[in-house]
A and B are shown apart, each in its own frame.
Chain A
């Protein structure tokens, strides 16, 4: 079952980029941080869309892996991917980007991880899909591609060209 089609996805990404610019004109004092591994596919595209609107050097972009900040090490081992934040976030607005906001635990870990790099003045959150009814922590997005209003028994699978040959979001039966 399709949640966001291949035709819809580019418009949503463009809209998210515009909403970010509307809130933070020219990305003044703001930086973009994509969450590894799967949020980066989205942040790459949003950054590309932002660079069409403002000059490339105004877009400060990094990637953050939150594996070492998770709260479930005794249950499951996750493998870390590269963190690449070659700039200071001290006093900046950090716009976190991830693909699906589900329980909120990943973002909780990301907030923790960010503090290891400095003290941002503000952190804001942009997600492609917000599974609102499944939240386990008081965390909400500021920019949302698509909000799911009802509790869903399905798994939200975001597919990207790099991995799956297609850009879309589908609902899958949990195996």
Chain B
């Protein structure tokens, strides 16, 4: 059994079996990360380049750690100190890197579809670490892994994705994944930040009242307000956003049940999520970060197995 895909470009392309395989392999890697020696020699002689055209702290460190725990050779490329700043095209940059015998490319880019474009032109396996407002598959996988770890299942789980849905690749990847795995998905937030096609095209429930969304869900995945992607104001002020849509202790106390709070980070504390909620026992935000390394190790491992056909 192996993945049905050579690249990990988005959850959209994965089968439910692919997702299950990644999650179960991640369980084994999580055990590896509890060992006295956390490094395994699995990807010896595999060279991976981390190609980050957009800022990232968590994802880049998480990928780099996953690669190093697997003993891969790692090359880091960030746009600020590269030839891309001199005007080299994406394809030229990657072809130049690949001619140095690289097996895999982990890529983040501000343009949606950039990794899909590359996948058509180069031989190396590509992992999408976030492309524009399209997908961020490893984030959705680690979110699913964390939900499953905390609540035991995905099937039938009620998940509310809250906040800036329109600019969020995390939201889209999560929606694809949760639907494939049989969870119920609702999106909630200000009408200006929720594209209505989610309901029309994908049958996702939309709830503009945050309190109703919280009362409905088992898990609230709270997204970051992405101020850097908003060219025009879509809500009046951060303070007003917090009052109307922020997850506060007050709101959670009104619920009749405990819900799990998630956030992909980085948190705007006091905007979409209050500090006392983010740091409360309901929050599994730091578990998400920890699980991220194991999930990425699983993705790297399963895709490497396909870099060379059986001879």
Contact = CB atoms under 8 A, between A and B. Distances in A.
A173 interface: no
Interface string A72-85: 01111101111100
A24 interface: no
A79 B305 CA distance: 10
Q: How large is the interface on B (under 10, 10 to 19, 20 to 34, 35 or more residues)?
A: 20 to 34
Contacts of A80: 25, 28-29
Contacts of A113: 40
B158 interface: no
Given A77-B2, A116-B36, A69 B308 contact: no
A117 interface: yes
B28 A75 contact: no
A88 to B, nearest CB: 8
A82 B28 contact: yes
A118 B302 CA distance: 27
Interface string B23-61: 001011101100111111111011000000000000000
Interface string B283-311: 00000000000000000011011111011
A76 B305 contact: yes
Contacts of B307: 74
A92 to B, nearest CB: 14
A79 B306 CA distance: 13
B302 A77 contact: yes
Contacts of A115: 37
Contacts of B201: none
A154 interface: no
Interface string A7-18: 000000000000
Interface in A29-86: 65, 67-70, 73-77, 79-83
Given A68-B32, A80-B25, A117-B36, A75 B41 contact: no
Contacts of A79: 1, 21, 25
Nearest to B308: A74
A1 B59 CA distance: 55
B284 to A, nearest CB: 23
Contacts of B37: 115-117
A65 B310 CA distance: 22
Most buried by B among A69, A70, A73, A79: A73
Contacts of A75: 308, 310-311
Contacts of B70: 68
Nearest to B304: A73
Contacts of A6: none
Given A68-B42, A76-B305, A77-B305, A82 B310 contact: no
A89 B308 CA distance: 36
A112 interface: yes
Contacts of B45: 74
Interface in A88-141: 112-113, 115-118
A85 B43 CA distance: 23
Contacts of A74: 45, 304, 307-308
A69 B41 contact: yes
A74 B309 CA distance: 8
Contact of B28 (A76, A83, A112): A83
A25 to B, nearest CB: 29
Contacts of A81: 28
B28 A116 contact: no
B82 to A, nearest CB: 29
A66 B40 CA distance: 10
Interface of B: 1-2, 21, 25, 27-29, 31-32, 35-43, 45-46, 70, 301-302, 304-308, 310-311
Given A77-B2, A77-B304, A117-B37, 5 more contacts: A68-B32, A68-B42, A79-B1, A83-B31, A116-B40
Interface of A: 65, 67-70, 73-77, 79-83, 112-113, 115-118
Closest 3 CB pairs of A and B: A77-B305, A116-B37, A80-B28
